[in-house]
Every structure is written in structure tokens, then in C-alpha cells.
Amino acid sequence: MKTFMAKFEPEKRQWYLIDVRGKTLGRAATQIAVLLRGKNKPTFTPNIDNGDFVVVINAGDVKLTGNKIEQKMYYSHSGYIGGIKAVSAKRMLKEHPERVIIHAVKGMLPKNRLSDRLITKLKVYAGENHPHKAQNPIKIEI
């Protein structure tokens, strides 16, 4: 018996379309991370990028449970002393709803160079329209 080792095969990738209108942010992000990483495939290998492309629409209509809409904060730092900025989830959803999804998914990916490659396969759009219709994405319910 020989151990199977998957190879990087970009031509075998699928495109998936996920509508997150009314869905909970964390539950949607876990399903997206599984598709990006390729953990739903029998040929999953932790060090190989065998995941698929994911197009997320209606990011502005994602749901946060409890008081997270008011209490959850997104932090960034300029690198200078006192350069920390905090933005609430409510404001972030209103101004940049794509970043909320990207931030949640990126936190669920491995913390290494592979995650930089995986996150580029995630395409997030605030509304219904997206420019990836030519790829014929498979619509899946989460």
C-alpha cells in the first residue's frame, strides 16, 4: 500500500455561489472555509491548495446573533503609538459588508502562507450582482 499524496491541480477546481442573506455569520464562514480549503473532498491534503472558488453574494444582509451587532469591534493598527482604530460591526456592515465576511473566513483558515493563497479564491459582494457568471458557479445552500 502506498500513501496517496494529492497534487496541485488548478484545472479541477469548481466555483460555488453562496447567498448569505439572513444566514448567521459564523455558520456561513465555517462552510466557506471548508470549501476554500478543500476539506469536503476525499483527496484533502493539509499542505496542498486543492480547494474551490467561492462567490458570496448579499454580504450586507448577513445576520449577527445576540448583541454582536452593537458590541463586536474590528480593530486595526497603523503601527504608530496610539494608532489603534476600532470600528463596530454595525458600522462595518453598513460601510464595507465584504470585509466582515472576509475577516470571519480568514480567522478560520490556517495561520500560514497557505491561507494567503486560499483567501484569494474568496469573492465577496455586498449585493446580488457578481461578475463570475461565466464560470457557471454551483449554487449551494448553507
pLDDT tens digits along 70-106: 999 999 999 999 999 999 999 999 999 999 999 999 9
Please report, rounded to a whole number, the percentage of residues in the chain having pLDDT higher than 70.
100
- φ, ψ of residue 108 in degrees (nearest 5): -100, 0
Sequence ranges of the domains in the chain: 15-63+94-140
Does the structure show a pLDDT above 90 at 5?
A: no
Does the structure show a pLDDT above 90 at 127?
A: yes
* Confidence band of 4 (pLDDT split at 50, 70, 90): confident
Q: Is 101 exposed, middle or buried (0-12, 13-18, 19+ CB in 10 A)?
A: buried
Provide the mean pLDDT of the chain: 95
Planar angle of CA 103, 108, 112, nearest 5 degrees: 95
Name the CATH superfamily for 15-63+94-140. Answer: Ribosomal protein L13 (3.90.1180.10)
Determine if the pTM surpasses 0.75.
yes
Walk across the sheet containing 53-57 and list its strands. Answer: 122-124, 53-57, 15-19, 138-140
